[in-house]
Amino acid sequence: MKVTVVGGGIAGLTCALSLHAAGFAPRVYEAARKVEAVGMGINLLPHAVRELYELGLDGELDSVALPPHRLGYHDRTGGTVWEEPLGREAGYHWPQYSVHRGRLQMLLLAAVRERLGPDSVRTGLRFQGFEQTSGGVHAHFLDRPNGLPVVDDADVLVGADGIGSAVRAQLFPHEGPPKGNGVHMWRGVAHHPHVLDGRTIVVAGGTPGAKFVAYPIEDSATGAGDALVNWVLEVRHPSGPPPGSPGRRVTAAEARAGLSPWQLPWIDLPALAERSSAIFEYPMLDRDPLPRWSSGRVTLLGDAAHPMYPMGMNGGSQSVVDTRVLAWCLARESDPVEALRRYDRMRRPAVNAIVLANRNLGPEEIIVRAEQHGGALPAGWAERIATRYKRLGRATVAQVNSGSSWTVRAVAADREGLHG
């Protein structure tokens, strides 16, 4: 079976590795002329790390990522609202990881080229559209360097091309642009002394648009001194959106002014702004959940299928799980159309529910309720909110540790009862 993957980001590359592990030889087409290590930080939750470990990437991940041990919710003065352990500290068999998105993408790219061959990822090819026949899919691309058309014939086409997915746009031509909630995120990375114990993700503030997040994504080479800290400040623009397009560069002076009202004793916010090599602004966006991801021999995964607000650190992790379930379904069904239907049934309802939960704050309801309450929540309230969200994503300790493997050689005949 020939599978063409549109998009060479984290979702597309993990999809290629998952398909290869299931016995396929996928091809990845990426619009950028070169895959580069760009971006900020990303968190991989234990349910996603388990899947990457089963793909044989444990050593590579350990070498580029840091395992946070604790999540701390704080008020605007830095006071602790609630804390919980993460990863192995919480009892998972796998760690949670914080990592630079670009380093993760380059790790995945190297693994794809090593396992599938140096020509398995083709760059500079912008997706133009597809046509389905009874026996396959014709995918059309524009070769950007020379302006010539390229046609790829496959049995299955996977759209892993992000929130602005061109594959999704053809499947749903009247959908319209992504939806925003009025919140913009200033994102940066900076070398800074360890925050708290050096292995804590801190989330401070309250309602969306009045929140600060920071976590380390890399230690110094010597293991001492400053860490590389990923940080996010949420802002609202009272007079409407700021000038410029998403990815507008924020000056250090602007960042200092935005951070000045915050009084967090365990981090030097002015130094964070000054030491950031670049600070960029992005609107917080998602899309309405789709009634289907698959149509015939074409399907979606990752942000192309379910872009979500970044509550609960779950978007990238759900994308990783998508790829494993898709590969499993294609390996278990002789008919690719039925395989994509099965993948749709098994993944879409659960992930659509997470998209909607994130619109309602996800686990960050905890700091909003604490702000409304005027301090730490009564015993058990915060834990109930966090546990409810984990159950929605099938990511409690018990669900992850006891879940069957998506690795094709290890599966039972039918896992739909467990994961569908």
Are residues 320 and 275 part of one domain? no
- Of all helices (H) and strands (E), which one includes residue 254? helix 252-259
Are residues 333 and 216 part of one domain? no
Neighbours of 59 (CB within 10 A): 8
pLDDT single digits (tens) 235-246: 987 655 555 556
Residues 6 or more apart whose CB falls under 8 angstroms from that of 231 comprise 187, 188, 189, 190, 212, 213, 214, 272, 276
Number of domains the chain is built from: 2
Q: Where residue 413 falls among pLDDT bands split at 50, 70, 90?
A: very low
Among residues 246, 266, 286, the one where a domain terminates is 286
Among residues 243, 266, 286, the one where a domain terminates is 286
pLDDT single digits (tens) 66-121: 999 999 999 999 999 999 999 999 999 999 999 999 999 999 999 999 999 999 99
The one-letter amino acid code at 322 reads D
Query: CA of 396: how far to CAs of 52, 149, 403, in Å?
Result: 18, 47, 10
Are residues 292 and 263 part of one domain? no
What does the block give as tokens for 287?
């899309």
CATH assignment at residue 277: 3.30.9.30
Q: Where residue 418 falls among pLDDT bands split at 50, 70, 90?
A: very low
Q: Which domain holds residue 196?
A: 179-286
Dump strand ranges (E) for 287-383.
Answer: 298-300
Sheet of strand 156-159: strand arrangement? 121-123, 27-30, 3-6, 156-159, 298-300
Are residues 170 and 194 part of one domain? no
Q: Find out whether 73 and 81 touch, Cβ atoms under 8 Å.
A: yes
Are residues 21 and 130 part of one domain? yes
pLDDT (average), residues 41-67: 97
What separation, in Å, do the N-terminal and C-terminal C-alpha atoms of the chain show? 24
Compute and round to an integer the Cα radius of gyration of the chain: 21
Q: What mean pLDDT is reported for the chain?
A: 92
Token match 């992504």: residue?
Answer: 178
Is pLDDT of 264 > 70? Answer: yes
Among residues 247, 270, 286, the one where a domain terminates is 286
Are residues 121 and 18 part of one domain? yes
Are residues 169 and 43 part of one domain? yes
Is pLDDT of 17 > 90? Answer: yes
**What pLDDT does 35 receive?**
86
Are residues 162 and 33 part of one domain? yes
Percent share of the chain, pLDDT over 90: 85
Is pLDDT of 37 > 60? Answer: yes
Token match 């009084």: residue?
Answer: 263
The one-letter amino acid code at 124 reads G
Are residues 293 and 203 part of one domain? no
Least confidently predicted of 67-71, 227-231, 304-308, 406-410: 406-410
CATH assignment at residue 292: 3.50.50.60
Are residues 397 and 381 part of one domain? yes
How far apart are alpha carbons 240 and 51 in whole angstroms? 41
pLDDT (average), residues 226-243: 80
Are residues 372 and 310 part of one domain? yes
**What pLDDT does 415 receive?**
41
Are residues 147 and 44 part of one domain? yes
